[in-house]
């Protein structure tokens, strides 16, 4: 756990976090100006104890390599971690993450990034037979739990997380995100209530290509944590948001569930709703509740989930946190407040608020064919699936 102190008072009024997301379904890249404007409009939803961004498509020249973003307390932590990397990974490139110090953010950890892939002859024999993705997961968890003063905060391919202690607009300036381009962006403005404000505790939380930004509280954290530990996930960061990223890795990557079905595990329908379903559907949702009951998220939440092929927005089952969506051409926007969408898209084609527990799923397209958006379908099902 990083020991770096911040300059903010721990006395605060309780409020809500802020979320934003932007995706271009044709994977046309844009810089960080719009996401910064959108999340800056939600300034009052945070208190300066955490801001961050995830961007997809930002490392096209290293798209086949894992991009590790790492925070270090000191050079000793960096040296120890790099020794592990050298023994277990082929490092194609490493460098300091570009930053611009300002009066608002001038005290920070050592920030470094590595573009690499696992060796076939790894020194870590305990995990030597694992596939690359599994080995990366084990390496991230090993470093975060056992290497004092080191924290891997991003480990995916052609994507990266940029986060820290501060308001998100200041974090964007600190990392110079106007010089970074991607086809999908998510952003978070943090107001911590149960966990401290520290650089690693800012959102998004990531693992491999998955990223999560979250507004709310996961009251089922203890159950979720124990469930994940059965599958050898090590939750070292002591924050409820961490479980969401790991549950989705388990459900989608390890167990092979489709994204939509995984969302129906996180925010499963109530049993009284399942009882009214058609027999085949009832059987499916009953099975999901029985098999993955410990992966259900309880408590008030709104999340934006990013992965290479799309973005998902999801509320809890009784919608205790705000979430709004809008579209304009090939762009879809998600935010805690409609004003954030209109700040960067003054005349969206359609704006709507998803129903409780029903995901908005936006998928990228592989062709240049125009994708039509069925607004009638949105009003009926409150679910947008572009494929």
Q: Which amino acids are annotated catalytic?
A: 17
How many Å apart are CA 187 and CA 17, to the nearest integer?
11
Closest CA to 213 of 234, 184, 236: 184
Task: Show the tokens assigned to 321.
Answer: 């946190």
Which residue is listed with tokens 């756990």?
1
Distance, C-alpha 180 to centroid of its chain: 18
How many Å apart are CA 10 and CA 180, to the nearest integer?
32
How many Å apart are CA 296 and CA 361, to the nearest integer?
19
How many Å apart are CA 185 and CA 170, to the nearest integer?
16
Which residue is listed with tokens 């969302």?
263
218 CB neighbour count, 10 Å cutoff: 25
Closest CA to 167 of 197, 207, 194, 212: 197
The pair phi, psi for residue 378, each rounded to 5°, is -60, -45
For residue 152, CA distances in Å to 195, 198, 202, 225 come to 19, 14, 13, 19
Contact 378, 350 (CB under 8 A): yes
Vertex 304: Cα angle to 141 and 250 (nearest 5): 40
Assess whether the previous peptide bond of 204 is cis (omega < 30° from 0): yes
Show the DSSP H helices in 193-348 as ranges.
221-229, 240-248, 259-266, 271-274, 279-291, 338-344
How many Å apart are CA 236 and CA 234, to the nearest integer?
6
């Amino acid at each position: 756990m990083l020991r770096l102190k911040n300059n903010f008072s721990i006395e605060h009024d309780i409020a809500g976090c802020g979320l934003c997301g932007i995706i271009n379904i044709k994977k046309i890249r844009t810089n960080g100006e719009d996401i910064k404007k959108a999340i800056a409009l939600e300034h009052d939803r945070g208190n300066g104890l955490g801001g961050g961004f995830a961007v997809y498509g930002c490392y096209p020249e290293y798209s086949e390599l894992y991009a590790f973003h790492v925070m270090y307390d000191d050079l000793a932590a960096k040296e120890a971690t790099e020794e592990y990397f050298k023994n277990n990974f082929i490092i194609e490139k490493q460098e300091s993450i570009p930053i611009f110090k300002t009066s608002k953010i001038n005290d920070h950890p050592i920030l470094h990034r590595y573009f690499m892939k696992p060796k076939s002859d790894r020194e870590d024999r305990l995990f030597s037979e694992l596939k690359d993705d599994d080995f990366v997961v084990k390496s991230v968890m090993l470093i975060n739990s056992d290497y004092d003063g080191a924290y891997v905060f991003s480990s995916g391919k052609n994507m990266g997380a940029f986060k820290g202690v501060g308001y998100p607009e200041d974090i964007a300036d600190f990392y110079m995100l106007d010089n970074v381009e991607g086809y999908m962006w998510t952003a978070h403005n943090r107001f911590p209530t149960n966990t401290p404000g520290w650089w690693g505790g800012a959102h998004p939380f990531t693992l491999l290509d998955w990223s999560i930004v979250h507004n709310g509280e996961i009251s089922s954290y203890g159950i979720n944590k124990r469930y994940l530990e059965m599958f050898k996930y090590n939750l070292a960061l002591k924050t409820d948001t961490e479980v969401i990223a790991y549950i989705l890795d388990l459900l989608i990557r390890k167990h092979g569930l489709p994204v939509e079905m995984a969302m129906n595990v996180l925010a499963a329908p109530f049993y009284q709703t399942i009882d009214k379903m058609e027999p085949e559907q009832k059987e499916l949702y009953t099975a999901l509740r029985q098999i993955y009951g410990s992966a259900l998220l309880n408590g008030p939440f709104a999340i934006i989930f990013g992965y290479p092929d799309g973005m998902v927005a999801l509320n809890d089952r009784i919608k205790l946190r705000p979430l709004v969506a809008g579209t304009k051409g090939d762009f879809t926007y998600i935010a805690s407040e409609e004003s954030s969408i209109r700040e960067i898209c003054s005349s969206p084609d359609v704006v709507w608020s998803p129903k409780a527990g029903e995901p908005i799923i936006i998928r990228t397209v592989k062709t240049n064919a125009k994708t039509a958006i069925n607004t009638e379908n949105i009003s009926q099902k409150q679910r947008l699936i572009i494929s």
